[in-house]
Chain A
Amino acid sequence: MEVIEKLKILAGAAKYDVACTSSGVDRDGEKGSIGNARSFGLCHSFAADGRCISLLKVLLSNACAYDCSYCVNRRTNDTPRATFTPRELAELMIQFYRRNYIEGLFLSSAVVRNPDYTCEQMLLVLKLVREEYRFRGYIHVKAIPGADSRLIEALGLYADRMSVNLELPSSGSLQLLAPDKSKESILGPMKQIRNGISENRTDLVKYKKTPQFVPAGQSTQMIIGATPETDYQILNLSASLYKKYGLKRVFFSAYMPVVAGGNLPALDSKPPLLREHRLYQADWLLRFYQFDAAEILDERQPNLNPLIDPKCNWALNHMDSFPVEINRADYEMLLRVPGIGVLSAQRIVRARRVSPLGFDDLKKLGVVLKRARFFILCRGKAQEGLETNQAAMMRGLLSKRSLNMIGDGPMDQLSLFNDPVEEDFVKCLTGQI
Chain B
Amino acid sequence: MPNGTDIAYLYDGSVEGLMTCVFESFEKKEIPAAILSPDQDQFVLYDTREIMTDTEKARRVFAGTQKRLGDEAAYLIRMTFLSDREDRALIILRFLHYAFAEGPRAVSRLSHPLVGPLHQAAKTTSNEEHAFNEFLRFSEFNGVLVSVIEPKCFILPLIADHFADRFPSERFFIYDRTHRYALLYDDGRREFTWLDEFEMPEADETEQRFRALWQSFYDTIAIEGRNNPRCRMTHMPKRFWPNMTEFQREKALSEKKQAASLPDVH
A418: Cβ under 8 A from any B Cβ = no
Assess the A31–B169 pair: CB atoms within 8 A.
yes
Total interface residues on B, CB under 8 Å, equals: 58
Nearest to A87 among chain B residues (CB) is: B266
Give Cα distance in the complex from A329 to B43, angstroms.
Answer: 50
Complex-state Cα separation, A101 to B234, whole angstroms: 19
Q: Does A360 lie within 8 Å of B111, measured CB to CB?
A: yes
What A residues does B231 contact at CB under 8 A? 46, 49-50
Pick the contact of B262: A44, A88, A270 (CB < 8 A).
A88
The A345-399 residues at the B interface (CB cut-off 8 A) are 347, 350-351, 353-355, 357, 360-362, 364-365
Give the interface centre of B138, B145, B223, B246 by most chain A CB atoms within 10 Å.
B223
Q: Is the CB of B135 within 8 A of A98?
A: no
Known: A15-B220, A361-B111. A45 touches B244 (CB 8 A): yes
Q: A56-B217, A361-B111 are in contact. Are A98 and B170 (CB under 8 A)?
A: yes
Q: Which residues of A contact B234 (CB under 8 A)?
A: 50
Is there a chain A Cβ closer than 8 Å to B194's Cβ?
no
How far apart sit A8 and B246, CA to CA, in the bound complex (Å)?
Answer: 15
Question: B108 and A354: CB pair below 8 A?
Answer: yes
Q: Pick out which of these stretches binds chain B: A35-43, A162-170, A244-252, A284-292.
A: A35-43
Q: Contact between B227 and A49 (Cβ–Cβ < 8 Å)?
A: yes
Enumerate chain B residues within 8 angstroms of A319, measured Cβ to Cβ. none
Complex Cα–Cα for A271 and B167 (A): 41
Q: Tell me whether A350 and B232 are in contact (CB under 8 A).
A: no
* Set of chain B residues within 8 Å of A354, measured between Cβ atoms: 105, 108-109
Q: Does A96 contact B (CB under 8 A)?
A: yes
Which of B8-16, B23-31, B46-54, B206-214 lies at the interface?
B206-214
Do A44 and B134 touch (CB < 8 A)?
A: yes
Q: How many residues of A contact B (CB 8 A)?
A: 61
**Residue among B108, B140, B217, B234 facing the most chain A CB atoms (10 A cut-off):** B217
Cβ of B168 within 8 Å of any chain A Cβ, yes or no, is yes
B137 near A: Cβ within 8 Å? yes
Interface presence of A53 (CB below 8 A): yes
Partner of B166, one of A16, A36, A50, A362: A36
The 7 closest A-B pairs by CB, nearest first: A50-B231, A50-B228, A47-B222, A361-B111, A364-B111, A49-B226, A48-B222
Known: A34-B170, A99-B139. 20 other contacts (CB 8 A): A4-B212, A4-B213, A8-B220, A15-B223, A29-B164, A29-B166, A47-B222, A51-B223, A87-B266, A99-B137, A99-B138, A99-B140, A100-B136, A101-B214, A254-B226, A270-B225, A273-B226, A350-B108, A354-B109, A361-B110
Instruction: Give the B-binding residues of A (Cβ under 8 A).
Output: 2-4, 7-8, 11-12, 14-16, 28-36, 42-53, 56-57, 87-88, 91-92, 95-96, 98-101, 137, 254, 256, 270-271, 273, 347, 350-351, 353-355, 357, 360-362, 364-365
Enumerate 28 A-B pairs (CB-CB under 8 Å) in ascending A order.
A31-B188, A33-B169, A43-B235, A44-B135, A45-B236, A45-B244, A46-B236, A48-B219, A48-B222, A50-B232, A51-B221, A53-B221, A57-B221, A96-B217, A98-B140, A98-B145, A99-B137, A99-B138, A100-B137, A100-B147, A101-B137, A101-B214, A256-B223, A270-B225, A271-B226, A353-B108, A354-B108, A365-B110
